[in-house]
Amino acid sequence: RLHLNVFEPRYCALVRRALASGRRFGMVGFDREMSFLQQGVEVVIEDCMQAPNGHFQVRIVGTRVFQCLEASQHPDGYYLATVSFPSLEP
């Protein structure tokens, strides 16, 4: 579980979108050249409080890993991706 203080406008827009559509979004890391990694984790918003200034205090939990197949930037500034969820079976 992670607690996030969401204040950047693009990520506030992402949280609003997630709250309106299943409370899920993906998180990926960056490499040393600041390029997106190809793997990430799907997270679910467990709790969310919006401050009067529009910022969010969010508690998330990771649910499953994914492989990023392609990504593009949404007009609000965050990235949307097509992903695949690998089988956990051997």
Q: Give per-residue pLDDT as tens, 42-62.
A: 999 999 999 999 999 999 999
Could you tell me which of 25, 21, 81 has the C-alpha nearest to residue 58?
Answer: 25
Query: Rounded to 10 degrees, what is the CA torsion of 48, 49, 53, 55?
Result: -30
**Chain position carrying tokens 């009067």:** 52
What's the pLDDT at 90? 64
The secondary structure of 36-55 as a DSSP string is: EEEEEEEEEEEEEEE-TTS-
Sequence-distant (≥ 6) Cβ neighbours of residue 53 within 8 angstroms: none
Rounded to whole angstroms, the Cα distance separating 4 from 56 reads 8
Query: Is pTM, for the whole model, over 0.85?
Result: yes
